[in-house]
């Protein structure tokens, strides 16, 4: 696909992709980000130009990106909800330390690669065994172990332990 063809596709479909995600999320910024990411992913695929199939592919990419983002946030929220009750009975200093730690954790989690973060969250938040993760992601158990090892090492360093 040439740059001119890509521009034509972008001009014709960006707003409809953004509106589609906005309808699902009710978040304008998220909808714009996902629409932009969808076009970037399409560009990276370097496919031949045929507007109808590419339009369908854009909707598929946007939907997948939205679902991925939604799942990540849902898992992170589930983890934070598990931690919150433990803080309620503590002093303001404890609560401040908790808040700082959760901020560090969220930041460190975002700094992991998508692959490492996915494996880490599936293991720690969903409680899946390495074999189950490997099956779901169509990876070898060794690859899951390697990603998990790196994620744990990175998080330990980021959280200062």
Q: What is the pLDDT of residues 74-129, one digit of tens each?
A: 666 666 666 555 545 667 777 777 788 888 888 888 888 888 888 888 888 777 88
Whether pTM > 0.85 for this model: the answer is no
What is the fold of 90-158?
Answer: Arc Repressor Mutant, subunit A (1.10.10)
Phi and psi at 38, nearest 5°, equal -65, -45
| 132-142 tens-digit pLDDT | 888 888 889 99
User: Are the CB atoms for 72 and 122 separated by under 8 Å?
Assistant: no
Question: Exposure of 4 by Cβ count < 10 A (0-12 exposed, 13-18 middle, 19+ buried)?
Answer: exposed
| Spatial distance between the Cα atoms of 43 and 56, rounded to a whole number of angstroms | 14
Residue boundaries of the structural domains of the chain: 3-69, 90-158
Residue 136: what pLDDT? 81
What does the pLDDT look like over 4-56, one tens digit per residue?
888 988 998 899 889 888 877 888 998 999 999 998 998 888 777 666 678 88
């Amino acid at each position: 696909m040439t740059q001119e063809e890509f521009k034509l596709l972008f001009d014709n479909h960006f707003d409809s992709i953004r509106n589609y995600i906005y309808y699902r999320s009710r978040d304008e910024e998220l909808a714009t980000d996902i629409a932009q990411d969808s076009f970037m992913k399409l560009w990276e695929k370097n496919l031949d130009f045929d507007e109808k199939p590419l339009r369908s592919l854009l909707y598929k990419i946007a939907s997948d990106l939205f679902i991925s983002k939604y799942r990540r946030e849902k898992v992170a929220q589930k983890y934070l909800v598990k931690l919150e009750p433990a803080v309620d009975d503590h002093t303001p200093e404890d609560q401040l330390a908790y808040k700082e730690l959760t901020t560090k954790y969220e930041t460190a989690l975002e700094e992991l690669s998508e692959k490492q973060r996915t494996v880490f969250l599936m293991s720690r938040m969903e409680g899946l065994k390495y074999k189950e993760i490997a099956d779901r992601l169509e990876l070898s158990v060794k690859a899951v172990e390697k990603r998990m090892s790196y994620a744990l090492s990175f998080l330990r360093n980021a959280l200062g332990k």
